[in-house]
Structure 1
């Protein structure tokens, strides 16, 4: 099966893609294109999957750059392939052609950024914690430090969990209301004391509040489409032992 790669006109002409699980070598609960280095999938199979992504991005595997994601607001700025231990961060930016920045997700937001005029790109992993703590804003700051302009920067949020599938408890709501009382608009009523959180709407809000030029969500829900996407929450509900990770990548 060939790879399925979702793209956006908003990031054109910069080479990029949100890869679905189709076209990979993994099997079982990881069936498809599992690119999760930290998963319990066979490491050699994960390497095969990542090589397929690198080939699709037209770079060597060593130039498929990624970070050790920790749900932070930290950003790594790179100018060459990463050697040895990956930086602990949740976003990565560069102005160096030939480096394919990549982010792994399985319900969290994969966000790709580009200022094509300045030749600066970025990629961010934005779950609720990272988004609330400012990882998207920090990515724009790091891109500006490399010469990008917020007004000329475009960002696209790829496949992530949608509001209908994202049930949370009252303590989750409290964290957002403490940051800004108007964040209540990103929640709607669920069962009992549960709420349903709109993660991509919140991500778009943070991007627009940070004065980005243009931003959009691809409108793909990871939870509701098991044939195309991995989902941490769906795996948890199914009581499966582990789950695959989707990859998103962008390259000058």
Structure 2
């Protein structure tokens, strides 16, 4: 008998439901066991479809999946679609009740952003490239355009690779520090010359605060260290993907 589908989430949020899946509760096997939700990782398509069906059973509508490219493009999920391929974007926003937003991760940051009253909502996929290039700021700007009267903003940073396991080169350090020298505090010396340990969650929290988000919660889960719960591309080259989903409940 397969394990039940397990999820992790954060504090209660007025008008908002959100969670990140774990790797438990699906039908994929081997290195992709068991709830792999990605179709681009050489999993059996039938397995992925069944895993997505199990996820959809927890949701009010089918998720708006994205083709993620480690960029900064934000998809407006409220715009009429033509039923074509998934939009190429690394974030999505909505003000429509029960419009489920979704991103997939396996070490990168999944970030849920919205106003405190549950009127406008967004999700973003932030690896170091997207984070340095401004994907979170772009998402927040789109949300502000959709809800200019928001009284305050909050965010949840989901499971991602932790600093002790995320060794990067000087190019990653410079991508952040050249834009803002204060980002240096989120890098510790690595085990080799010219290597650094980057705190992605800390960098995201800092950039969100600088952009005007006052209430920020980090999940505290490390995708690399907790192999029983999460996929990790850094740990396992043949890795599945978790999904972070979020939607508005009002109405």
Do they superpose with TM above 0.5? yes
Determine whether 1:127 maps to 2:123.
no
Structure 1 residues 32-77: Cα deviation after superposition (integer angstroms, max 9, x where no partner): 1101122210112111111111111232xxx211211000111000
In the alignment, what sits opposite 1:216? 217
> What root-mean-square deviation, in Å, do the aligned CA atoms of Structure 1 and Structure 2 show?
1.6
* Unmatched runs of 5 consecutive residues or more in structure 1: 237-241
Q: 2:242 & 2:114 partners in 1: Cα distance? A: 20
Matches within 5 A, 1:113-192: 113-115=113-115, 117=117, 119-147=119-147, 151-192=151-192
Matches within 5 A, 1:42-121: 42-59=44-61, 63-79=62-78, 83-115=83-115, 117=117, 119-121=119-121
Q: Is the 8 A contact 1:80 1:96 kept in 2?
A: no
The normalised TM-score by structure 1 is 0.92
* Unmatched runs of 5 consecutive residues or more in structure 2: none
Q: 1:38 & 1:11 partners in 2: Cα distance? A: 32
Structure 1 residues 79-109: Cα deviation after superposition (integer angstroms, max 9, x where no partner): 2685211111100001111211000000000
Q: 2:12 & 2:139 partners in 1: Cα distance? A: 18
Q: Is the 8 A contact 2:167 2:190 kept in 1?
A: yes
In the alignment, what sits opposite 1:14? 16
Q: Structure 1 runs of 4+ off > 4 angstroms?
A: 148-151
Residues paired across the two proteins, number = 244
Structure having the higher helix fraction is 1
Q: Is the 8 A contact 2:162 2:200 kept in 1?
A: yes
| CA spacing shift, 1:245–1:81, aligned 2, 3 Å | farther
| CA spacing shift, 1:98–1:80, aligned 2, 3 Å | farther
Deviates more, 1:178-187 or 1:77-86: 77-86
Q: Residue 202 of structure 1 aligns to a residue in which SS?
A: helix
In the alignment, what sits opposite 1:239? none
Q: Is the 8 A contact 1:67 1:87 kept in 2?
A: yes
Shift of 1:120: 1.3
Q: 1:99 & 1:123 partners in 2: Cα distance? A: 12
In the alignment, what sits opposite 1:250? 246
Q: 1:21 & 1:163 partners in 2: Cα distance? A: 21
